Amino acid sequence: MPSRRTAAALLALLFGPAAVGCGSVLADDGGGRSGGTTTVTVLAASSLTDAFGSAEHAYEAEHPRVDLRISYAGSQTLAAQVRQGAPADVLATADTRTMRSVSAETGRPRIVATNRLTVVTAPGNPHGIRDLRDLADPSLKVVLAAEEVPVGGYSREVLAEQDVHVRPVSLESDVRAVLGKVELGEADAGIVYETDAHSGGDKVAQVPVPVDRNAVASYPVAVLKESAHPEGAAAFIRWLGSEEGFTHLREQGFRRP
């Protein structure tokens, strides 16, 4: 199947320049340019929602001719979109495994941040949860992310290392869904990233996981090979890795790689 770029080239050869520019759909099909503005489409892991939301406003203010369009979902969902040919320029996942699964579709990734796990409960921690072992209590309603979701994989890793067996009441498609279940009182506890617990504010309480029993989540970001704007995509990734760009990640609790 021809790539989007190849398809555009074939149109130009068959019908000439007028055909490519004769309508708004063809003129902007994959190009992302409108009125001198370059649209850079970013597919980002759900746990990056707040950090990238802040970064988006700052980057666009500094680069007035760039329009960042960011779509958030679980990393495994984003990878599936990439494999299906979704038009985008940048992919940011919450683990290196998912990024490796689409290595044929991306350039070399750059790790821009790290994260760690924490347990979240209702405010005040009404069930008195002290550590991960308490999550094995069958009377507790514990929610986890599905195993294919990065935070779900990390959660199972740390639970297995401590020989803790948890029977979750539900398996969620991304970390924000886990957080939401606890915030709404539909679960007594859940395992999320520290940054998501930070975003929960006073809607949740945290039970920290000791560093020596925790997992380090790495966040790789890469330019997609089918990007319509590879230079713009690479520029955004470089900015994220700069001290200025990382400020928006740090404010949400992310750490330097």
DSSP letters, 215-250, are -EEEEEEEEBTT-S-HHHHHHHHHHHHSHHHHHHHH
| Cα gap 82→77, rounded to integer Å | 9
The pLDDT value recorded for residue 5 is 43
pLDDT grade for 14, boundaries at 50, 70 and 90: very low
- Summarised one tens digit per residue, pLDDT across range 219-248 is 999 999 999 999 999 999 999 999 999 999
Which one has a higher pLDDT value, 143 or 6?
143
Residue 71: partners with Cβ closer than 8 Å, 6 or more residues away: 41, 42, 43, 44, 78, 88
| Cα gap 115→141, rounded to integer Å | 25
Sequence ranges of the chain with CATH classification 3.40.190.10 = 4-114+219-250, 115-216
CATH homologous superfamily of 4-114+219-250 equals Periplasmic binding protein-like II (3.40.190.10)
Please give the CATH number for the structural domain made up of 115-216: 3.40.190.10
DSSP state letter for 210: P
pTM of the model: 0.84
The DSSP H or E segment spanning 151 is helix 150-161
* CA proximity to 217, closest of 155, 146, 165: 155
